[in-house]
Amino acid sequence: MKWAKKAASKANDLVREHGATQRPTESQPAPGPLSAPVTVGQITTQVCVLGQQQSNFPHIFRDGGGGGTVGGKHLIIFADGMYTRGEPPTHPSRMVSFVSNSVAVAGDVVGPFSGKTAAGSGSQPASLAQVFDTGTLDRGPVQAVPFLTEQGESAMDTAIWPNCNIATLPATGGTVAVGYAEVIDRNLFRQQKFALLYNTPLEIRLDGRSGQPVVSRPCKSLFVVGEPMFGSFCVVYPELMPDGGDGYLYLFGRVSEAANPQSNGLKLARVRQQGFADRSQFEFWDGRRFGPRMPALDDGGAASVFHYSQEAFGKHYGPGSGEIWWSAAHGAYVMLFQNGAAAVDNSIYLSHSTSLVGGWSAPVCVYKIPRFEDGYSYCFHAYPNMDPTRRVVPISWTQDSKTRSCRIHTGQVLFS
Would you write out the chain's pLDDT as a tens digit for each of its 416 residues? 333 333 334 333 333 333 333 333 344 566 789 999 999 999 999 999 999 999 999 999 999 889 999 999 999 999 999 999 988 877 888 999 999 999 999 975 444 333 333 333 333 345 799 999 999 999 999 999 999 999 999 999 999 999 999 999 999 999 999 999 999 999 999 999 999 999 999 999 999 999 999 999 999 999 999 999 999 999 999 999 999 999 999 999 999 999 999 999 999 999 999 999 999 999 999 999 999 999 999 999 999 999 999 998 888 999 999 999 999 999 999 999 999 998 889 999 999 999 999 999 999 999 999 888 889 999 999 999 999 999 999 999 999 988 888 999 999 999 99
Residue 28 pLDDT: 55
What is the distance in angstroms between the CA of the first residue and the CA of the last residue of the chain? 17
What span, in angstroms and rounded, lies between the C-alpha atoms of 391 and 22?
A: 14
What span, in angstroms and rounded, lies between the C-alpha atoms of 127 and 411? 10
Query: Distance (Å, rounded) from C-alpha 154 to C-alpha 142?
Result: 16
Closest CA to 382 of 47, 11, 19, 14: 47
Closest to 266 in 3D by CA, of 295, 223, 226, 225: 295
Whole-angstrom distance, CA of residue 106 vs CA of residue 119: 9
Cα distances (angstroms) measured from residue 374 to each of 65, 238, 334, 371: 22, 41, 32, 8
- Domains of the chain with CATH codes: 2-415 (2.115.10.20)
Which candidate, 394, 369, 391, places its Cα nearest to that of 383? Answer: 394
Q: Is the distance from CB of 252 to CB of 233 less than 8 angstroms? A: yes
